[in-house]
Chain A
Amino acid sequence: FSQVIQKDGLRSLPLSGHVGFDTLPDQLVNKSIKQGFCFNILCIGETGSGKSTLINSLFNTSFDDSMSTHFHPNVRLKAQRYELHESNVRLKLTVVSTVGFGDQINKEDSYQPIVDYIDAQFEAYLQEELKIKRSIFNYHDTRIHVCLYIISPTGHSLKTLDLLTMKSLDSKVNIIPLIGKADSISKTELQQFKRKLISELVSSGIHIYQFPTDDEVVSQINTIMNGHLPFAVVGSTEVVKIGNKMVKARQYPWGVVQVENENHCDFVKLREMLICTNMEDLIEQTHTRHYELYRRCRLQEMGFRDTDSENKPVSLQEAYEAKRRKFYLELQRREEETRQKFVQRVKEKEAVLKEAEQRIQAKFEHLMLMHQEEKQKLEKKRKALEEEIALFNMKKANAELLQTQPMVSTPVSLKRDKDRKK
């Protein structure tokens, strides 16, 4: 036998029999089946652009039926988690939708919550990865794998909000632009609209997700699909009877728009591309491109370097040590600060309380004084009253005495005496 030397210097050996490692991909797949898959979709679109209906149609379920109001003060994100089963595949699906996007009068801050959310998921993963004791293999991945951006079917061009939002997101997530509620555009208008959108995206330098064309198995179909972007989609959860089949469709007086009819809209293409053909690639791109970019920027922000000023590779230990020391010092400083503040507050409070105490004391004394005065007054009054009573009693006694005396004088003179005595 001969040994072929491959271009990377490794020898390639022929096998003389069946070894059995061709089961490796299956082993890997079985492991994944056991663990389950995680897929996170972010759906951005103005209120009423058809996000919920689209998701429901894509995954053939009815997730959330309530319609959203237009009066949210700012843009929020709503996340919902589901677990879908199909044959033996378990998919943990998370759908994050924007609430109130495009509704505000001032839309300057509209895209910031979205960017923050995506960054927060990357940050959570990075923190887990940087931990010393970590469990990254059963970490529930919450990073957004694909962003479905729904463009309103105006037929003209991209709105400024769309441009701004997509520009701030294109380096963080895979963006697939869609035209929502596409049944309001006619076929010719649609072609023009798509061309206009693509040229606008290109001229603004926005990178949308391109389906991968390097693998022969899928490259042909992916190239074709790349040409159909943005997909014009129609969603529906209602079924209509066409012929003798029940299909998802929207019924109008002038006809029926079938969701799964390729002549009517690109819904089937979206489902094909998103789920059947490229789900794995989306997950991989998120991890190897977007996450790595985030990680690199973040680590550089934190002060880590791969090579120090003399261009020698930085020892991992030293970098960590230096960081740890810095962190520890910072911690100490903050602790000291907090302690100082605390002491200060306590002092202030004490002063306030003391002052209050004094005031109360003064009031107390004042009250006591008043109480004393009152008491004295009352005492005097009582005495006066007693004297009066004594006087009155005396008078009474005298009067009684006079009454018992023999009646010599006329009653008038008695009366006069009585009067005199009074």
Chain B
Amino acid sequence: MEAAAVPQELPPDCGVHELFGYVGIEAVLEQMKVKTMKMGFEFNIMVVGQSGLGKSTMVNTLFKSKVSRKASQPGQEERIPKTVQLQSVTHVIEEKGVKMKLTVTDTPGFGDQINNENCWDPIIKYINEQYERYLREEILITRKRKIPDSRVHGCVYFIPPTGHWLRPLDLEFMRRLSKIVNVVPVIAKADTLTLEEREEFKQRIQRDLKAHAISVYPQEDFDEDPDDRLLNDRIREKIPFAVVGADQEHQVNGKRVLGRKTKWGIIEVENPAHCEFPMLRDLLIRSHLQDLKDITHNVHYESYRVRRLNESNRPALSSNNGLPGRDEDGDESNL
């Protein structure tokens, strides 16, 4: 039964009013900040790539602490598993009063077998499972005040630095996954490429991605306004970022920097001239973290929901055989 008394006169915007004095509306921004700081943030990131590409090191460098699975299970022998496994590790990190619950999901075994067909299936299954979990919580009649969010907000895909083109495995994986999650491709262990090689490799990768219609993060379709587009275009030019990970500090010019020490020099991870790690970090954390979460929630989760709720469409209309009757009520509601 619909409520009938909706006032008919809801005129369109009465126009923008200038205020003749201070009202205090902008205080709502402060209120919002305080509220979100109290609630804390959640962020779930997944790293995918063959073993030995430096995923765990990268994640540790990104969050400046030992968040990867290797660090949380010290002393375990590193063996290549027979099938792709997914391991999630959750930590709580805090910076300047902002608490973040960070979950890193690693995928050891990806692309490591002789026959790698369908090695992306467990990953896709995992991502969909998280969406399913959220959907179930959202559908409940009595829901929690804050639904726990375990959905993957960003998937960092590590491309081996061959310098040639994307391999079939890379293309297949990125094609499938960019439809359900934000994929951020990076060139791993980029210290094996010179700057020119790096540039060429990137161009080829970009062309490949475009040729196969793979849209990686930041997706062009979701640019909201011209400012966004400008900013994201600049980022899109540089995708995929060539990164180097390091968790040891060395002395350079009297400063302590994170880097890799080799016989021919020290590669400074945070030096933009050496590698693009700072850009990746800025993208993922400092500027687009909220955007990653928003796109996951507003686009990927919604399309999962649509698919899921449409699934039962086909059998329902054809057959009349009853499921165990659950509706004891006799209302006439319209869905």
Interfacial residues, chain A to chain B (CB-CB below 8 A): 1, 6, 10-29, 31-34, 37, 58-61, 63, 76-89, 91, 96, 112-113, 116-117, 119-120, 123, 130, 132-134, 137, 215, 217, 271-272, 275-281, 284, 288, 292, 295-296, 299-306, 308-309, 314, 316-330
B51 smallest CB distance to A (angstroms): 24
Known: A60-B19, A322-B326. A301 touches B331 (CB 8 A): yes
Known: A13-B67, A80-B11. A327 touches B334 (CB 8 A): yes
Q: Looking across the interface, which residue of chain B has its beta carbon closest to that of A99?
A: B7
Report the separation of the CA atoms of residues A367 and B141 in the bound assembly, to the nearest whole angstrom: 77
Q: Does B57 contact A (CB under 8 A)?
A: no
Report the separation of the CA atoms of residues A278 and B34 in the bound assembly, to the nearest whole angstrom: 11
Q: Does B311 contact A (CB under 8 A)?
A: yes
Which B279-320 residues have a C-beta within 8 angstroms of A?
Answer: 281-282, 285-291, 294, 297-298, 302, 305-306, 308-313, 315-317, 320
Whether A323 contacts B335 by the Cβ 8 Å rule is yes
Return 5 A-B CB contacts under 8 Å, by A number: A60-B22, A130-B335, A303-B331, A306-B140, A316-B135
B36 smallest CB distance to A (angstroms): 5
Stretch at the interface among B88-96, B111-119, B158-166, B195-203: B88-96
Hey, which chain B residues are within 8 Å of A304, CB to CB? 141
Report the separation of the CA atoms of residues A14 and B64 in the bound assembly, to the nearest whole angstrom: 9
Hey, which chain B residues are within 8 Å of A28, CB to CB? 32-33, 36, 290
- Beyond contacts A23-B286, A322-B326: 20 other A-B pairs, Cβ-Cβ < 8 A, are A12-B91, A14-B65, A17-B258, A21-B285, A21-B289, A24-B98, A28-B33, A32-B29, A61-B18, A120-B3, A123-B2, A133-B306, A271-B23, A281-B31, A300-B141, A305-B141, A308-B326, A317-B312, A318-B326, A324-B313
Q: Looking across the interface, which residue of chain A has its beta carbon closest to that of B282?
A: A20
Q: Does B136 contact A (CB under 8 A)?
A: yes
Report the separation of the CA atoms of residues A19 and B45 in the bound assembly, to the nearest whole angstrom: 15
Whether A31 contacts B294 by the Cβ 8 Å rule is yes
A259 smallest CB distance to B (angstroms): 11
Q: Does B211 contact A (CB under 8 A)?
A: no
Report the separation of the CA atoms of residues A301 and B141 in the bound assembly, to the nearest whole angstrom: 11
Q: Does B332 contact A (CB under 8 A)?
A: yes
Whether B289 contacts A27 by the Cβ 8 Å rule is yes
> Which of A11, A306, A323, A328 contacts B141, CB < 8 Å?
A306
Whether B312 contacts A25 by the Cβ 8 Å rule is no
Q: Does B143 contact A (CB under 8 A)?
A: yes
Q: Looking across the interface, which residue of chain A has its beta carbon closest to that of B100?
A: A21
Known: A13-B65, A20-B282, A29-B32. A276 touches B312 (CB 8 A): no
Whether B316 contacts A18 by the Cβ 8 Å rule is no
Whether A303 contacts B98 by the Cβ 8 Å rule is no
Hey, which chain A residues are within 8 Å of B168, CB to CB? none
Known: A120-B3, A280-B35, A303-B327. A37 touches B28 (CB 8 A): yes
Report the separation of the CA atoms of residues A315 and B204 in the bound assembly, to the nearest whole angstrom: 47
Complex A-B, nearest 10 residue pairs according to Cβ-Cβ distance, in ascending order: A280-B31, A27-B290, A116-B5, A276-B24, A22-B96, A276-B27, A20-B286, A120-B3, A116-B3, A17-B64
Report the separation of the CA atoms of residues A336 and B298 in the bound assembly, to the nearest whole angstrom: 41
Whether B28 contacts A280 by the Cβ 8 Å rule is yes
Whether B21 contacts A82 by the Cβ 8 Å rule is no
Whether B24 contacts A123 by the Cβ 8 Å rule is no
Q: Looking across the interface, which residue of chain A has its beta carbon closest to that of B270?
A: A17
Report the separation of the CA atoms of residues A87 and B3 in the bound assembly, to the nearest whole angstrom: 39
Known: A79-B9, A320-B309, A327-B335. A20 touches B65 (CB 8 A): no
Report the separation of the CA atoms of residues A201 and B52 in the bound assembly, to the nearest whole angstrom: 69
Known: A81-B12, A318-B326, A324-B312. A132 touches B23 (CB 8 A): no
Q: Looking across the interface, which residue of chain A has its beta carbon closest to that of B63?
A: A19
Whether A89 contacts B28 by the Cβ 8 Å rule is yes
Interchain Cβ contacts within 8 Å, total number: 276
Whether B141 contacts A25 by the Cβ 8 Å rule is no
Q: Looking across the interface, which residue of chain A has its beta carbon closest to that of B299?
A: A137
A161 smallest CB distance to B (angstroms): 18
> Which of A10, A85, A324, A330 contacts B19, CB < 8 Å?
A85
Q: Does B77 contact A (CB under 8 A)?
A: no
> Which of B135, B258, B305, B316 contacts A321, CB < 8 Å?
B316
Report the separation of the CA atoms of residues A271 and B329 in the bound assembly, to the nearest whole angstrom: 47
Q: Does B142 contact A (CB under 8 A)?
A: yes
Interface-central residue, B3, B91, B98, B136, by most chain A CB under 10 Å = B3
Hey, which chain B residues are within 8 Å of A89, CB to CB? 25-26, 28-29
Report the separation of the CA atoms of residues A271 and B145 in the bound assembly, to the nearest whole angstrom: 28
Hey, which chain B residues are within 8 Å of A271, CB to CB? 23-24
Report the separation of the CA atoms of residues A88 and B22 in the bound assembly, to the nearest whole angstrom: 13
Hey, which chain A residues are within 8 Å of B142, CB to CB? 296, 306
Hey, which chain A residues are within 8 Å of B140, CB to CB? 306
Whether B91 contacts A11 by the Cβ 8 Å rule is yes
Interface size on B, residues (CB 8 A): 103
Whether B316 contacts A21 by the Cβ 8 Å rule is no
> Which of A58, A117, A132, A296 contacts B309, CB < 8 Å?
A132
Q: Does B213 contact A (CB under 8 A)?
A: no
Interfacial residues, chain B to chain A (CB-CB below 8 A): 2-7, 9-29, 31-38, 41, 43, 62-67, 72, 90-98, 100-101, 135-136, 139-143, 145, 224-225, 258, 281-282, 285-291, 294, 297-298, 302, 305-306, 308-313, 315-317, 320, 323-329, 331-335
Report the separation of the CA atoms of residues A10 and B290 in the bound assembly, to the nearest whole angstrom: 22
Whether A117 contacts B64 by the Cβ 8 Å rule is no
Hey, which chain B residues are within 8 Å of A292, CB to CB? 143
Whether A87 contacts B32 by the Cβ 8 Å rule is no
Report the separation of the CA atoms of residues A323 and B333 in the bound assembly, to the nearest whole angstrom: 9
Whether B28 contacts A299 by the Cβ 8 Å rule is no
Hey, which chain B residues are within 8 Å of A123, CB to CB? 2-3
Known: A88-B26, A321-B323, A324-B316. A24 touches B289 (CB 8 A): yes
Q: Looking across the interface, which residue of chain B has its beta carbon closest to that of A64?
A: B14
Q: Looking across the interface, which residue of chain A has its beta carbon closest to that of B1?
A: A301
Report the separation of the CA atoms of residues A120 and B5 in the bound assembly, to the nearest whole angstrom: 8
Whether A83 contacts B16 by the Cβ 8 Å rule is yes
B314 smallest CB distance to A (angstroms): 10
Whether B290 contacts A77 by the Cβ 8 Å rule is no
Whether A96 contacts B7 by the Cβ 8 Å rule is yes
Known: A15-B65, A284-B35, A324-B335. A61 touches B282 (CB 8 A): no
Report the separation of the CA atoms of residues A325 and B38 in the bound assembly, to the nearest whole angstrom: 45
Report the separation of the CA atoms of residues A117 and B6 in the bound assembly, to the nearest whole angstrom: 5
Whether A316 contacts B20 by the Cβ 8 Å rule is no
Hey, which chain B residues are within 8 Å of A288, CB to CB? 145
Hey, which chain A residues are within 8 Å of B305, CB to CB? 132
Whether B20 contacts A61 by the Cβ 8 Å rule is yes
Whether B98 contacts A22 by the Cβ 8 Å rule is yes
Hey, which chain A residues are within 8 Å of B312, CB to CB? 317-318, 320-321, 324
Q: Looking across the interface, which residue of chain B has its beta carbon closest to that of A237?
A: B20
Hey, which chain B residues are within 8 Å of A37, CB to CB? 25, 28
> Which of B17, B34, B294 contacts A83, CB < 8 Å?
B17
